[in-house]
Structure 1
């Protein structure tokens, strides 16, 4: 009798396991299809994501103007124009000082190359001028042989720049419409969804908006911290163009991996051509230390506190996103993980607590944005 009961329990357990396995496979299949569709629509999805990031930065000002009697269209237009002016001012703050000292920097680069050749020709390397000239000729020959691939690369770069400009323009227009019509979204969505979804989806969207805002604010704070620390080190070493380099460091913080490398390379190059090799090495050491502190201490701690994620989860998300889709994956990994956590927490709440009625507010998604 016990053997029969045991056999029945085993069969029931196997059937449940098989059913759960099939359901998991269906979920994975639907996820793969959704990711494939997302990739096919990426030219539209990416400007939408950028616009959402920009809206989280500019919405507090737009909300302030709306609460003081400004019409939504006028408030959105003023905020969009101010954002463009600030962005243009940042570019000018970086470009104008660099352009004014471009001649000095060029002379310094040439002098640095000459010093490098003199150092290579002396001990301990003792490389002769003929060998240096031969290596240079070999490099020129290789460049000429690969001219076709270089032209292709240049064409790809031009296409990338053009796509970036199109994305920026489209994101600005979307940001304007989000600022203008965003508070109408959740009421409209509530009317379109049937049954329980009319309650669940707006609440998740509201919490997702708060999470996205927390991510952008934490990223801006980390960039500001990097700019202050690196700028202070450059100022102590009396490196020129301290303010443009600090601004460049802040802006590049929003572009993971490549942004930090680019800003650090520019700072080291300017220190090399203006102050010499010793100060350039010191600047390099400062940048490496600050970037290590940012990636392993500041960013995980700040983002984990603002997004409700453990620091280890933030590090793993960035690593996974970068390994899957490169720079874009690194940029979107943390907010994606935070949004997944928002959905999971809401599902867990609904399984344990009675559903709560959503609260509406004057925000681009109907969500209250912290002041």
Structure 2
């Protein structure tokens, strides 16, 4: 390689490195600003997630000629009634039994500890103490956080009531004025951004809505089937375990493992080893039906993410922001994939006609 080409390659590499560093710096600043504004961003995120669930009935009313304000008000009131019914019928009993659920998990861990200390494993007491004390602590903390998230509406803001009220108001305005947002956004942006940003926003909204609605439907099916199996076997705390299964469905892969682990431990403590194995078999069968039947039927278009990417996203989100990070990790990864796919489409070369070397002009020819 000549010295001129070498200098040109070095300049190109230096420019690319500088641009990458600038992008990383902008990302770090954006995350810092997001963290500082989290008390406002969190109600906005909850409002968007609630809007994805309530938008289909609102759209149905709008297509029937209802005014946007009336349709949004009706759906918001119905949502509040349904939420109040859920709190009265499910959340209150779950909260009253949360202590028993936590104690059952701890007892189950202790029972496994005693089994591991005997033959054929014969694991030393010191190793068991260190490993299982950590497991007990994490089980108590994680289960308490999960039950608290169910009861309080998955709120990490100090004043959960203010967050809920803000989210409901935002949901109402999103339902009322949502269809006007993209045209308004297109008018505010200059040049090509007036096309690119609304297109990415529309695709991201479709992806987010698909994820939330499909996970809610699949989680409900899992909770009903697993709860029915626990009820038939006479396992206690059926309702809290069913609610835990439903909430855990929003954390792919790790959520199902956690909920199943808790159900098996409760069955082991209360009903014995045989029923615990039956519960394990029920959970495995339901999870197989979910992955091979329910999920493809309910979610016709997937998120386009590999299982390994989902696992890494959930792990990273949990390590950064706990339960909230685990819940939001997969939607965030899906939105990033939407942006990346759109950028890749725009950077692709124009397609070539297989029968000619000329690039396509986009002008239709008469048939």
TM-score normalised by L of structure 1? 0.68
CA distance in 1, matches of 2:327, 2:33: 20
1:194 aligns with 2:222: no
User: Is the Cα–Cα contact under 8 Å of residues 317 and 333 in structure 1 kept in the other structure?
Assistant: yes
Larger relative contact order, structure 1 or 2 (CA cutoff 8 Å, min sep 6): 1
Of 13, 37, 46, which aligns to 1:41?
A: 37
Q: Following TM superposition, by how much is the alpha carbon of 1:163 offset from its aligned partner in structure 2, in angstroms?
A: 2.5
Q: How has the CA–CA distance of structure 1 residues 180 and 315 changed in structure 2, closer, same or farther, with 3 Å as cutoff?
A: same
Q: How has the CA–CA distance of structure 1 residues 267 and 72 changed in structure 2, closer, same or farther, with 3 Å as cutoff?
A: farther
Of 50, 62, 72, which aligns to 2:46?
A: 50
Q: Which runs of 5+ in 1 are unaligned?
A: 125-157, 355-371
CA distance in 2, matches of 1:353, 1:178: 37
- Give the equivalent residue in structure 1 for 2:280: 285
User: Is the Cα–Cα contact under 8 Å of residues 272 and 279 in structure 1 kept in the other structure?
Assistant: no
- Give the equivalent residue in structure 2 for 1:315: 311
Which one has the largest radius of gyration? 1
- Give the equivalent residue in structure 2 for 1:134: none
* Equivalent runs, 1:214-225 vs 2, <5 Å: 214-225=210-221
User: Is the Cα–Cα contact under 8 Å of residues 272 and 280 in structure 1 kept in the other structure?
Assistant: no
Q: Following TM superposition, by how much is the alpha carbon of 1:185 offset from its aligned partner in structure 2, in angstroms?
A: 0.6
Q: How has the CA–CA distance of structure 1 residues 267 and 79 changed in structure 2, closer, same or farther, with 3 Å as cutoff?
A: farther
- Give the equivalent residue in structure 2 for 1:348: 344
Q: How has the CA–CA distance of structure 1 residues 261 and 267 changed in structure 2, closer, same or farther, with 3 Å as cutoff?
A: same
CA distance in 1, matches of 2:190, 2:72: 31
1:303-339 CA-partner distances (Å, limit 9, x unpaired): 8952122222222221222223222221111111111
Q: How has the CA–CA distance of structure 1 residues 10 and 304 changed in structure 2, closer, same or farther, with 3 Å as cutoff?
A: farther
* Equivalent runs, 1:1-371 vs 2, <5 Å: 6-94=2-90, 162-239=158-235, 242=238, 245-247=241-243, 249-254=245-250, 265=262, 276-277=271-272, 281-282=276-277, 285=280, 289=284, 305-352=301-348
CA distance in 1, matches of 2:235, 2:179: 47
User: Is the Cα–Cα contact under 8 Å of residues 230 and 279 in structure 2 kept in the other structure?
Assistant: no
CA distance in 2, matches of 1:311, 1:195: 38
Q: How has the CA–CA distance of structure 1 residues 246 and 328 changed in structure 2, closer, same or farther, with 3 Å as cutoff?
A: closer
Q: Following TM superposition, by how much is the alpha carbon of 1:39 offset from its aligned partner in structure 2, in angstroms?
A: 0.4
TM-score normalised by L of structure 2? 0.68
Q: How has the CA–CA distance of structure 1 residues 189 and 40 changed in structure 2, closer, same or farther, with 3 Å as cutoff?
A: same
CA distance in 2, matches of 1:69, 1:244: 42
CA RMSD across the alignment:
4.0
Q: How has the CA–CA distance of structure 1 residues 321 and 175 changed in structure 2, closer, same or farther, with 3 Å as cutoff?
A: same
User: Is the Cα–Cα contact under 8 Å of residues 218 and 295 in structure 2 kept in the other structure?
Assistant: no
Secondary structure in 2 matching 1:308: coil
Q: How has the CA–CA distance of structure 1 residues 321 and 296 changed in structure 2, closer, same or farther, with 3 Å as cutoff?
A: farther
- Give the equivalent residue in structure 1 for 2:363: none
Secondary structure in 2 matching 1:307: coil
Q: Following TM superposition, by how much is the alpha carbon of 1:71 offset from its aligned partner in structure 2, in angstroms?
A: 1.2
Q: How has the CA–CA distance of structure 1 residues 247 and 323 changed in structure 2, closer, same or farther, with 3 Å as cutoff?
A: closer
User: Is the Cα–Cα contact under 8 Å of residues 300 and 312 in structure 1 kept in the other structure?
Assistant: no
User: Is the Cα–Cα contact under 8 Å of residues 245 and 267 in structure 1 kept in the other structure?
Assistant: no
